[in-house]
Chain A
């Protein structure tokens, strides 16, 4: 089944404790992206990647890191999480950048206390 998977689905952590949210797709898509979704603010793009070893900032990259060492994986890293990073996070992928539909993962609900 074609899909985007994220892990974990739910995470409660404390300020400053490094964490990684994994994202994997099995559709051989070139483009992958991370979003956060907050009430009243909608979906905001954090980082995106056009291909292996090619990443770029979205609209809200501060406090996040990403890497794309393999085509199928695009992990999101929070080196020192803070409470303002409490949010619902979505990973997405598409065949060819932003001219094609994106397929979203199920989401990761992160709480930083």
Chain B
């Protein structure tokens, strides 16, 4: 089976930096996604990693280590609007399924 772990909740301060971790144990690996989901809304794409290393996109960066089964999403210069759930999803390969973690609820405070 596939297992993806993320912290359930995190709290951070406006203007700060926060790192949201994701660990996975899957039957294979063909890529890892991060999505953002605001309450009551649909998920929206943030990043995609298939090779080891850091991908930077504005205030958001995502890191992948395939040997460790580990990824993180780094959010810099936090804003109140970053309060949302962050979903880690893995494509285990051998088909076109996508398996999501349960998400990390981030609360940004003043």
Q: Count the A residues whose beta carbon is within 8 Å of the partner chain — how many?
A: 26
In the bound complex, residues from chain B placing their C-beta under 8 Å from that of A40 are 102
Task: Report Cα–Cα, A66/B96, bound state, in Å.
Answer: 16
Number of A-B contacts (CB under 8 A): 61
In the bound complex, residues from chain A placing their C-beta under 8 Å from that of B89 are 43
Enumerate A25-56 residues with CB–CB distance to B below 8 Å: 31, 33, 35, 40-45, 48, 50, 56
A58-B97 contact given A90-B43, A98-B31, A99-B30, CB 8 Å threshold: yes
In the bound complex, residues from chain B placing their C-beta under 8 Å from that of A45 are 97-100
Q: Which of A13-21, A67-75, A79-87, A103-111 lines the interface with chain B?
A: A103-111
In the bound complex, residues from chain A placing their C-beta under 8 Å from that of B101 are 42
Q: A98 contacts which of B30, B41, B43, B44 (Cβ < 8 Å)?
A: B30
Check if A56 sits within 8 Å of B96, measured CB to CB. Answer: yes
Task: Report Cα–Cα, A112/B89, bound state, in Å.
Answer: 28
Task: Report Cα–Cα, A41/B101, bound state, in Å.
Answer: 8
Q: B97 contacts which of A59, A102, A105, A107 (Cβ < 8 Å)?
A: A59
Check if A42 sits within 8 Å of B44, measured CB to CB. Answer: no
A43-B30 contact given A98-B91, A104-B42, CB 8 Å threshold: no
Which among B30, B42, B97, B99 has the highest number of chain A CB atoms within 10 Å?
A: B42
Check if B87 sits within 8 Å of A101, measured CB to CB. Answer: no
Task: Report Cα–Cα, A74/B48, bound state, in Å.
Answer: 25
Which among B31, B44, B89, B97 has the highest number of chain A CB atoms within 10 Å?
A: B97
Task: Report Cα–Cα, A90/B35, bound state, in Å.
Answer: 14
Check if B48 sits within 8 Å of A101, measured CB to CB. Answer: yes
Residues of A within 8 A of B (CB): 31, 33, 35, 40-45, 48, 50, 56, 58-59, 90, 97-107
A-B contact pairs, 22 of them (CB 8 A): A31-B96, A40-B102, A41-B102, A42-B102, A43-B89, A45-B100, A48-B96, A48-B97, A50-B96, A90-B42, A90-B43, A98-B31, A98-B96, A99-B48, A99-B50, A101-B33, A101-B45, A102-B33, A102-B43, A104-B42, A104-B43, A104-B44
